[in-house]
Structure 1
Amino acid sequence: MPRGASPLLLLLWAKMVSSTWYEGSGYSAAERQTNEVYAEETSHVLAPEYRVPQWCHLLSIYHGEATCYSPRGGNYRSSLGTRCELSCDRGYRLIGQRSVQCLLNRRWSGHAYCRQIRCPTLPAIYHGSYQCSDGVKVDSHCDYTCRPGYHREGDRSRVCLEDGHWSGSEPICVDIEPPKIQCPESRERMAEPNKLTATVYWDPPRAKDSADGVIKQMTLRGPEPGSEFSEGEHIIRYTVYDQAYNRASCKFFVRIQVSRCPVLKPPEHGYVSCTSAGNNYGATCEYHCDGGYERQGAPLRVCQSSRQWSGSQPTCIPMQINVDVNSAAGLLDQFYEKRRLLIISAPDPSDRYYKMQNSMLQQATCGLDLRHITVIELVGLPPHEVGRIREHRLSENIIEGLRQFLHITRSRFNVVLVDKEGVDRERYIQPLTPDELFSFVDTYLLSNHEVLQREQNRDTCE
């Protein structure tokens, strides 16, 4: 106050400050203990007095804390311009503004209070109960127990969390006494002849519930009785459930054995094709020879119950070409399903195409034999015409028959490729390289077995 002011003005100033001390802070005298902080508009604005240490009411939040920062220093917790950060104790949630400031109107800029966090009441569980350490407040532990004869499945206890939810999930109490079940004895069977399987039968298991004697459901895991079982061991499992869904299971084994003969080895220059698994009881194996070879001995052998093969193993010997036949058809029949034929025809032994072709094929003997190709030469003109297969000479009658049957001209060089079925597959009027010939055979004429042999013997001729 200015020096020399009258006592009356001093009295009025003191009365004004006294009447607005709590109103300016947002609290009346009767509300000083509340934990709310709020702001109200006022019709008059007082001149700021930064020197007043308590411009707004000193903050006190119930179950919480106000951390204040004043422009004048740490000792001024409610002077003009002071900013306070509000927080709540554990178990309480702040409702309202987290930050307030002391304004010119002697009020705080907002209001807030701390509300206790509570979790919802836990529901009762069937056949059990729970006890809580502190009701539904934060950090309260609720422990679950089940009645005698029941087993708890799920969480043993739950805790009230700060977000107002219980931890974990609600457990359940279930009947713990499983039913009783007895499976049939395990069994072994021998596979049927020429098969790798056996049919097996059994009676369903007996089951009984120890509580009320009622079986609600029985399930089978595995083949049904009367099914065909393959070689090996199979597990058959039955599972039963009582009315409380207690489960019990049992299992037994079905073992299938296959009577087998020793594995047959293919003959040299030949191979074996078998039914079923190839060496099981009742399987039949047939012997085959590679192109250019003939089988000597029984073509078939059977695996017997004694686990021994019938008969004896045949052999494959080089093919004997008989040129003393009456017709070209008789000659070609000897190669049917055994060899392919490459027939080379030229009007004269001095033909340059003929010489080139012979020179190239002489360097590819291994590849020709690998692909079961036999070369037949028809060279010259009558009466000096010559026909030959390797060292075998052909008669004039056979030469003429081959030319007529395959439509091979004498007037110019030409080559005819005939497959194992006697079909004319390709013709050439100029010499062909071994690579061209082999590529055509490998692409279009090989059987599945020949493809396999080709892969196994790929490097034989290299």
Structure 2
Amino acid sequence: MLPGTSSLLLCLWTKVVSSTWYEVGSGYAAAERRTNEVYIEETPQVSLPEYRVPQWCHRLNIYHGEATCYSPRGGNYLSSMGTRCELSCNRGYRLIGQRSIQCLPNRRWSGITYCRQIRCHTLPSLYRGSYQCSAGVKLDSQCSYTCQPGYYLEGDRRRMCLDDGHWSGSDPICVDIEPPKLRCPESRERIAEPDKLTTTVYWDPARATDTADGIIKHVTLHGPEPGSEFPEGEHVIRYTVYDQAYNRATCKFAVRVQVIRCPVLKPPEHGYLSCTSAGNNYGATCEYHCDGGYERQGAHLRVCQSTRQWSGSQPRCTPMQINVDVNSVASLMDQFYDKRRLLIVSAPDPSDRYYKMQNSMLQQATCGLDLRHITIIELVGLPPHEVGRIHEHRLSDNIIEGLRQFLHITRSRFNMVFVGKDGVDRDRYIQPVTPEELFSFVDTYLLSSQEQLQREQNRDMCE
């Protein structure tokens, strides 16, 4: 080596070192102060030169946090080009910026990152109260609330500053703790009115006073108004009152309504009942009815009395007694009025094929005929051998002739007339009719409401 060469190399090496290396944790010496902030610069789109000596970024110093770095050149080169660092903050601090940065060829880190202290907002003042906090608005600070004497704290008594920068719970309030005074009417018991299941009940409204400022906000009634109709049973009436501070007071009383009842009546055999109201309450009346073909024997009406007993005695329904020994057709027909329907079958001869066919079908439908209150009257033959009968009862010649004239029934051919319970001619037939057709006509057009109810109850009786 030539003389002076060593001195020249040393000078050049000193310049290189002084322009390439920086104080740890201080950035670029005088150009950068003690901070973690690194400006982002785009990496030039040129092929990177190969460095024999590692190029260093300034050493990271994360205040209130730490950086975990990995270098492609090994653990001794944690600030060399290509080094990647994962950043995190201590508890109570929030990371602002990128979580991962890299040392770029321009000797700068790829991002600006720092740790900011977590703080909650200042709590609002408490009306008629105050609070004290253990550490102001910092993380984990606990604030305790208290109210002035005479007021009660509603809500959270303690709140804590959480990791997300918000307080736990919600703002409490201090309220007046003295409720108003409220007095309800006395409970009462009433008897239902005759023939009704209800009664009218009156009372004076509840009286309210306030012990604080004397101001009553409003009184609310929960339940029927005084003078309302109350049904049987116990009814709880409530009043609610609020003062100016919205303190609430409540009171209640009961209205008990009793219904006097008689034993439940049973309908007579071959009959039914029609009752008012509930059927066995005080004042209710029950009327007895008999099925078609039966007549009532005894009182037709009974009343439930305040002694819980029925007036009168139980009537009976006995088979209808048909009196054929009458002087006129009107007297005969009156016996069936509102009780039975009549089917008058007329034929010129007992051997008439229509008559025989019709008679056979009707004999097989006895149950259905009786269920629909239908009585058969037969007028068969020609004078002087004409026969008229209702079951086993024989009709006189005068009544036979009267029926034919009254209902316009011919002797010359087979024909039938169907008469309703009201005595009105409802339908006529010149050929035999099946029981099903006849029953369908009755069920569709002629049944009363009570008969329809009984028909539903006895639908399967003839099956």
TM-score normalised by L of structure 1: 0.89
Residue identity in the other structure for 2:123? L
Amino acid at match of 2:276: T
Q: After superposition, give the CA deviation of every residue in 1:220-257 in whole Å (9 maximum; x if it has no partner).
A: 12222222222221112122222211111111111122
The answer on whether the counterparts of 1:46 and 1:104 sit within 8 Å (CA) in structure 2 is: no
**1:35·1:114 contact (CA, 8 Å) conserved in 2?**
no
The Cα shift of 1:327 comes to 3.5
Structure 2 CA distance for partners of 1:433 and 1:32, relative to 1, 3 Å: farther
The aligned amino acid for 1:315 is R
Report the counterpart of residue 291 of structure 2 in structure 1: 290
Specify the alignment match of 1:452 in structure 2: 453
The alignment status of 1:276 with 2:281, answered yes or no, reads no
> What is the TM-score of this pair, normalised by structure 2?
0.89
CA distance in 2, matches of 1:410, 1:74: 134
Secondary structure of 2:437's counterpart equals helix
Residue type at the aligned position of 1:273:
S
Q: Which residue type is aligned with residue 279 of structure 1?
A: N
Look up the SS of the partner of 2:400 in the other structure: helix
| Closer/same/farther in 2, CA of residues 37 and 401 from structure 1, 3 Å limit | farther
Residue identity matched to 1:450: E
Q: Give the C-alpha shift of residue 289 in structure 1.
A: 0.8
Displacement, 1:370? 1.6
- Per-residue CA shift, 1:267-318, capped at 9, x if unaligned? 1111111112222222221111111111111211122222222222211111
Change in Cα spacing, 1:136 to 1:428, as seen in structure 2 (3 Å) is farther
Q: Which amino acid aligns with 1:377?
A: E
Q: CA 1:363/1:43 → structure 2, altered by over 3 Å: closer, same or farther?
A: closer
3-state secondary structure, aligned to 2:355: helix
One-letter amino acid matched to 2:146: T
For the 8 Å contact 1:46–1:105, the answer to whether it is kept is no
In structure 2, the residue matched to 1:306 is 307
1:19 corresponds in structure 2 to 19
Partners of 1:26 and 1:40 within 8 A in 2: no
Q: Deviations over 1:91-118 (max 9, x none)?
A: 3222222222222222222222222222
Q: Spell out the pairing of 1:210-229 with structure 2 (5 A cutoff).
A: 210-229=211-230
- The 3-state SS of whatever aligns with 1:266 is coil
Tell me the matched-pair count: 459
| 1:29 counterpart SS class | coil
In the alignment, the residues of structure 2 paired with residue 461 and residue 61 of structure 1 have an alpha-carbon distance, to the nearest angstrom, of 101
| CA drift at 1:13 | 5.2
For residues 324 and 136 of structure 1, do their structure 2 counterparts lie closer, same or farther at Cα, with a shift above 3 Å needed? same
* Letter paired with 2:318: I
Three-state SS of the structure 2 residue aligned to 1:144 is strand
Which secondary structure state, in structure 2, belongs to the residue aligned with residue 271 of structure 1? strand
Whole-angstrom CA distance in 1 between matches of 2:223 and 2:341:
53
> CA separation in 1, counterparts of 2:109 and 2:72?
15
Percent pairwise identity: 82
CA–CA distance in structure 2, aligned partners of residues 353 and 44 of structure 1: 118
Find the aligned partners of 1:375 and 1:408 in 2 and give their Cα distance: 15
Please identify, of 257-266 and 39-48, the stretch whose mean Cα deviation from structure 2 is larger: 39-48
The verdict on how the C-alpha distance between 1:364 and 1:101 changes in structure 2, with shifts beyond 3 A counting, is same
Partner of 2:167: 166
**Stretches of structure 1 lacking an aligned partner (at least 5 in a row):** none
Please report the RMSD computed on the Cα atoms of aligned residues, expressed in angstroms.
Answer: 3.0
Secondary structure at the residue paired with 1:105?
Answer: coil
Deviations 1:328-348 (A, max 9, x none): 333232222212222323332
Range that drifts further, 261-270 or 389-398:
389-398
Which range moves more in the overlay, 306-315 or 403-412? 403-412
Is the 2:27–2:34 Cα contact (8 Å) retained in structure 1?
A: no
Superposed, 1:419-434 pairs within 5 Å as: 419-434=420-435
8 Å contact kept, 2:26–2:34: no
**Contact 1:339 1:419 (C-alpha < 8 Å) held by counterparts:** yes
Q: In 2, distance between residues paired with 1:352 and 1:81?
A: 122
- Alignment-derived partner of residue 115 in structure 2: 114
Query: For the Cα contact (< 8 Å) 2:133–2:144, is it kept in 1?
Result: yes
State the distance in 1 between where 2:74 and 2:369 align. Answer: 108
- Secondary structure, counterpart of 1:381 in structure 2: coil
CA contact (8 A) 2:268 2:315 kept: yes
Tell me what 2:340 maps to: 339
| Corresponding residue SS for 2:87 | strand
- Pair 1:145-2:146 in alignment: yes
* Worse-superposed segment, 7-16 or 175-184: 7-16
CA distance in 2, matches of 1:26, 1:406: 131
| 1:373 to 1:52, Cα distance in 2 relative to 1, 3 A | farther
Q: Deviations over 1:8-59 (max 9, x none)?
A: 4664454244334459999333656423343346999995456655632232
Q: 1:7 to 1:385 in 2, by over 3 A?
A: farther
Q: 1:6 to 1:321 in 2, by over 3 A?
A: farther
Residues 51-450 of structure 1 mapped to structure 2, 5 A cutoff: 52=53, 55-73=56-74, 76-450=77-451
